[in-house]
Structure formats: C-alpha cells, structure tokens
Amino acid sequence: MKKYLKIFLVFSLISFSSFVNAKEVPPSFADLAEKLMPSVVNIFTTTTITSRSNNFPFEFPPGSPFEDMFRDFGTPEERKASALGSGFIIDEKGLVVTNNHVIQGADDIFVKTDSGEVFDAKVVGTDSAMDLAVLQVESDQNFKIVKFGNSDSARIGDWVIAIGNPLNLGGTVTAGIISAKNRGIGMNRYEDFIQTDASINQGNSGGPLFNMNGEVIGINTAIYGQSGSIGIGFAIPSNSAQRVVDQLIEFGETKRGWLGVRIQTVSKEIADSVKLDRPRGALVMSVAENSPSDKAGIKSEDIILEFDGKIINEMKELPKIVAETDVGKKVNVKIWRNKREVNKEIILGRLETSEDFKSKGVITEKPKEKRIEGLKIGVRYLNKKDIEMRGLPKDISGVVITSIDKDSPINYLQVNNIIVEANSRKINTIGDLDNIVKMKLKGNEKILLIAIYNNQNQRTEIGVKLK
C-alpha cells in the first residue's frame, strides 16, 4: 500500500510541476519595462477657469430666485487649473494616444518623455464616446513607438504591466494579471473593458496596458472607487480602440455605423411569449423615423438575432458591432418576427450625423402624446420643464399620464402621475412603456410591476393586473 502511495505522490508532484512550468512566471519585468519606457509619456494640461467672487457676507440656498439675481454681481476671477495623465507613442513623428478626459477642455497640452524632454502638443482628434484622443507632439525628432496587440487573444490570468504617470510619479511600472474581460461599468454604450489587478491610480489614465510581448492590449481608463487602487482597474481593449484611433488620425473624427433603434434585453419571459427557443438577441423597443432601420422595415417588437453574419447573444453586443461596421455598408440583419426568422437588408447610416447622436441617444417619437391601450391611459413625454417645476431628480426619465379611462386597470392613479419603470426596466420613451405592456399581454402571466411618482413626488411600486 505504501509503495502505491509513494508512486501516486511522485506522479502528482510531477503532474503539478508540469502544470506550473507550462508557462513560467516571469523572473523579472525589468527587461520589458526598460524596452517600453521610452514610448510612454506623461501628459500635463492647463485650463483657464473663470469664476465670480462672492462679495456678499451671505449665501443663498440652491434654487433660490435670488441666487440667479445676484450671481453676476461678483468680481470675475481667472485661475489656471492643471491636470495630468499618461499616453503612449504610436508613430515615429510623435502621434500619442491617450484618454479624451485627460485633455478635454485644455488650453495647453504638454508631453513629457522618459528622457525628461517636454514638448507642446496639439489635438489631432477626440472621441468622447469611447474616451479616446490622439495628440501630435510638436517636434522634428523621431520617437520610439509601441504597437497595438490583439486584445481578443488575451486571456483571463495572463500577465500584464501598466506604465504611466500616477499621482505625477512618471515612469511608474506596475504588474498584474487580466482579471476579467468584457466588463461593463456604465461609462458608455460601447464598453467592454479589460479588468486588471495591476495597480492603476489617478494619472494612469490614457497609459498603456502591455502584454508580455510588449504590445498594447489596453488603454488604462478607470479605477473602481475614488480613493486609489484597490486592485480593480479597467482598460479599453486595443481591438476596440485601434479602429477609433485610425479614424481620428485619418479624419479627425469618428464615423460609426448607425441603425436607429432603441433596444433592450430579451428576458426569458419575453422569449417564451414570442416562442423564441431561449433568451438571445436584442429586442427593438422603438425605431427612429427615417433611420436605416425604418427604411428597411424593422419594427418595434422585432428581435435582432444576427447582424452582418455576427450572432447577437446578448443585447449589449449589438451597439458595439454596429458602431464598428463601415458607414454605407449594406448588411444582412436576421430578426425574429411572428415566431419565425426574417432577413432584412439595411444600409448603415452614420451615428455622428444622426438625430440619435444629436439628442444623446434619445429617439424622437411621434406623436408626443399617445395612448397605451393595454393600460387604457394616455401619456406624454416627461420634459425638462416638468422636472424643474416639480423639483424631480435631474436624471429622471419617464412618461406623464394625461388621461385615464374609467375601466383602466390603474384607474386609481391620477393625471400627471409619472411612470418611470415597468418590470424593473427604466422608461425613456413612450414606446418603451407601450412595448413592455404589449409583451406582457402576450404572455401567460399578466401582472405588470410599475414604478410611479405621484403628484406629491413620492415614488411608489404598483402591481397591475392587465386585462
């Protein structure tokens, strides 16, 4: 027995040793860091801020009518504010990639290299949607560059190093691993961040995240929390960033594909109600008038299953795929409609010239007042005037009830009540509410949970039995 035990232990040790040595832990990052340092830069900006000093020995409470009245009586004062960040050089002539928020609104931009030289820099192009910017260093000398790598091939658990200017400590190198991929943290519609435990702090923004081949696979952009690194940092994947960077260099702006639809997640309940085999795809909530989708015959309640040959497993995948598709391209879109697959051809528009973009993603619907037949009520948009007059939260969205039928399932509510959620989904448009109600009516369970603000601005959750 002891003999077999010894054999087993020896075999286990050999197997474990083979596993550990399959990809050796780097004995040092020194050679790699030394090679990459000349291509990483510190970025400093200055911004002029104008404010008015308060000459009064008292202050008015926020929202007071006297606040606006006396605001302009102060003495104008100008001061210089500074900010810092990081970046990396991708062209010998001094093209630098960084985050847009590092240089946004800056009067002057300065780039400091690893050698200690400081250069003026000008903006080539910016993209606030993905928080990227490209700068041009004003110098005739040639710079050492780094190249983008393939972020798709990076795996959870791979070693990475970050180099940057945290807290104005330029040339700081930190190491860690890829902790997760495709993270969404609520910053923008296209996010699929790489999460890393390599230490990232304020000032690292815009700096590179390198793989062990010395390739940039991410652009460090955000940290979890405000107090500094706790081992949770986020980087824009290189494969997403490179397309934007190339467009900024060529055009000075981005050219993203545009469908013109508002979408939501396909829940199990919705999938069951439309006889879809499982929750997948993106449910069309509303279609912008005269948009590419409108012209192609896409309708509310369609579920987009496939776009240009790419399967849509989750709703969040679609905006990124569409944005990365060439403007003007004719693409095939596979949708689920009336319990069967239907193919549509769509010629993509450009997001930046669309009403979606101009209105920051809010699709204009007509008419502004509409009946929700499933609830037997009339509703209209919640507008800025409503929010200001009623003192509602500034980030609120929803629809205002304008009429209620006597036989409405919510006839106990009042005109001017505001519906802000339905089935735990935020209501941004009239179409959002209408489609949620329609989907609910198609299912077996006809209980709808809605959240309202009453006329006293009190939020209430209500269970509604649809008829």
Asked about 273 being catalytic, the answer comes back as no
User: Tell me, what's the pLDDT at 431?
Assistant: 85
Contact residues for 260 (Cβ-Cβ < 8 A; gap 6+) = 287, 288, 291, 292, 293, 294, 349, 354, 356, 363
Parse the chain into domains and list their residue ranges. 36-53+71-137, 151-251, 258-358, 369-465
Asked about 205 being catalytic, the answer comes back as yes
Query: Which CATH entry fits the domain spanning 369-465: 2.40.400.10, 3.40.50.800, 2.40.110.10, 2.30.42.10?
Result: 2.30.42.10
What's the CA gap between 160 and 36, in Å, rounded?
13
Catalytic residue among 131, 302, 308, 356: 131
Catalytic residue among 39, 151, 205, 354: 205
User: Tell me, what's the pLDDT at 298?
Assistant: 94
Beta strand residue intervals within 207-278, DSSP E: 208-210, 216-223, 233-237, 257-258, 261-265
Residue 118 identity: V
Query: Which CATH entry fits the domain spanning 258-358: 3.40.50.720, 1.10.10.10, 3.40.50.300, 2.30.42.10?
Result: 2.30.42.10
Neighbours of 109 (CB within 10 A): 25
> Which portions of the chain are predicted below pLDDT 50?
2, 4-22, 56, 58, 60, 62-65, 360-367
Homologous superfamily (CATH) of 151-251 is Trypsin-like serine proteases (2.40.10.10)
What's the CA gap between 254 and 352, in Å, rounded?
8
Query: Which CATH entry fits the domain spanning 36-53+71-137: 2.40.10.10, 3.40.50.261, 3.30.465.10, 3.30.70.2740?
Result: 2.40.10.10
User: Tell me, what's the pLDDT at 41?
Assistant: 97
In order, the DSSP letters of 79-135 are EEEEEEEEEEEEETTTEEEE-HHHHTT-SEEEEE-TTS-EEEEEEEEEETTTTEEEE
What's the CA gap between 359 and 383, in Å, rounded?
13
Asked if 151-251 and 258-358 have one fold, the answer is no
Asked about 267 being catalytic, the answer comes back as no
Contact residues for 147 (Cβ-Cβ < 8 A; gap 6+) = 90, 215, 216
Contact residues for 357 (Cβ-Cβ < 8 A; gap 6+) = 258, 351
